[in-house]
Structure 1
């Protein structure tokens, strides 16, 4: 962490107006005590994502310059932070940003998209209104305070969101689709359900709806495994036997590669950098070597995997 933080602090120091001390600048800008700022200057405490964005905006620093390799060599990345007036608009903005990347690939070329999924792939529950609302609750939590302002029942999904989802899926159909499912597929989403229920943003009826939609989504995954098809599109579905620590999307085409690393939803990190993508391609090869293809194959492994997910879901239902 200190290498990256020191790099940020060096850039900030170079951009400060003459006579302004670094600790005073940080204290005034991010509204922290001087002692808290000194801990960040000494690299004892990490800057939060919101603090980095605030500093970058104040000094007009290009965020792509803040991501470096350990050797000190710069890597070009774009930190995509979504800030909109409503939850649904923020979600639409996230989909549109991903759509822009997809549309940048020549439709005449052969290209593939690899989804490495720590959690349940959002693509598989686009039509599940409850799970999408839960996604927005989590986004509200990430963007705001400890307790979100809107409850599950107060979130209204719009036709504009459905249109954005449809446009995103249409763009995906030009790609060969490969999806890797992590072994702890439901863990995060089940923890979110329990947390939001505990703080009264979900009712018992909401909770039952979400658990039912998760059951239906597992049924969809089973169907994809049996047929190798999803929404009339061929798809390669893998189950990973190692923990996936970070969800990512890797796009590969003739002469062009792109990586999207998922941060706290809806924010992400985008890179077209050759060396960055080479590292991600290597990591993807590791995931593939330690995974099993379950679409139209590996029946025993597929059944065991889905039964394990269903057991986890049933244990939550019975509590």
Structure 2
């Protein structure tokens, strides 16, 4: 409940984020570098949180300062712009991926955790463990930015730590207990078109293109197996839908008891992210509404599933 007491609002918001006994106190000691008794004096309201302490806690838990002061600006929201730096693309891309991996891996096991994605390209959480496919996304972005020296796909050398963090990015979904994927029916076609273009201007060799083709067939097999079982190898539920309408962009959300994160893909490999509640509810509702235009192919819709993956393999085979 929002009151006219910012300190009480902050305490209430923190307890909503970390309801388990002792969890909130431990977080405050680690974040504010104060002792247990000082923490409990603040939680009892005997000592108010300072502005600096409120800001640190708000950033840690994703609590809106608007919520704390009891004001709602419905037309405003704060976004993080996760844009790869032109001057040091490898390191900045690594830092962006590492931030997501650290955030999700640090979450307490939450049986209610959920993720939803509506994609007009193959989601990063599904293809990034395949080195050539992951490399191609970065190559395309680097080549498009003329300020970066990137002569050909084969000459692009990926740092080992970047290759590893991309695999960790795929692995972090083991913490998500329920996943909804809604795919554009042309999800492979867009990627094939890009690869064919770079091949036509001799920036990808025929030998490398064949290796990418093999990875795409392997990915198609993995996705079909995932659709048949409806579960990840960790036993988490996955629902896969194929949309009958096209998407203009890729939207995603991650939700746990302590986190509500919205992501909008921009500039190929970059994203805008926010923990704003209004944006989260709007984006989640939008993604879920796409199901009315889609066919569920995981665990059910066997005929549609077979037809979909047959079509995707025929598209891959044109490469």
TM-score (norm 1): 0.69
Structure 2 gap ranges (5+): 1-72
1:144 pairs with one of 143, 146, 161: 146
Report the equivalent of 1:94. Answer: 96
Query: Equivalents in 1 of 2:232, 2:108: separation in Å?
Result: 23
Distance 1:155 1:232, change over 3 A: farther
Question: Is the 1:94–1:266 Cα contact (8 Å) retained in structure 2?
Answer: no
Question: Is the 2:185–2:244 Cα contact (8 Å) retained in structure 1?
Answer: yes
Report the equivalent of 2:165. Answer: 164
Q: Deviations over 1:214-260 (max 9, x none)?
A: 12211111111122233444322222222122112211223642111
**Aligned residue-pair number:** 245
Structure 1 gap ranges (5+): 1-70
Report the equivalent of 1:31. Answer: none
TM-score (norm 2): 0.69
Question: Is the 2:128–2:169 Cα contact (8 Å) retained in structure 1?
Answer: no
Report the equivalent of 1:275. Answer: 278
Q: Secondary structure at the match of 1:201?
A: coil
Report the equivalent of 2:245. Answer: 242
Distance 1:89 1:150, change over 3 A: farther
Report the equivalent of 1:19. Answer: none
1:208 pairs with one of 202, 210, 225: 210
Distance 1:247 1:261, change over 3 A: same
Q: Secondary structure at the match of 1:229?
A: coil
Question: Is the 1:88–1:136 Cα contact (8 Å) retained in structure 2?
Answer: no
Query: Equivalents in 1 of 2:250, 2:256: separation in Å?
Result: 20
Q: Deviations over 1:62-120 (max 9, x none)?
A: xxxxxxxxx99222212221216555434322311322442564434621111222112
Q: Secondary structure at the match of 1:219?
A: helix
Q: Does 1:285 align with 2:288?
A: yes
Q: Please show how residues 178-217 of structure 1 align to structure 2 within 5 Å.
A: 178-217=180-219
Query: Equivalents in 2 of 1:182, 1:225: separation in Å?
Result: 15
Q: Please show how residues 66-85 of structure 1 align to structure 2 within 5 Å.
A: 73-83=75-85
Query: Equivalents in 1 of 2:275, 2:126: separation in Å?
Result: 26
Question: Is the 2:121–2:250 Cα contact (8 Å) retained in structure 1?
Answer: yes
Q: Please show how residues 46-85 of structure 1 align to structure 2 within 5 Å.
A: 73-83=75-85
Question: Is the 1:90–1:266 Cα contact (8 Å) retained in structure 2?
Answer: no
Report the equivalent of 1:175. Answer: 176
Distance 1:255 1:108, change over 3 A: closer
Q: Secondary structure at the match of 1:277?
A: helix
Question: Is the 2:129–2:166 Cα contact (8 Å) retained in structure 1?
Answer: no
Q: Deviations over 1:128-160 (max 9, x none)?
A: 222122112112034335x96231111233431
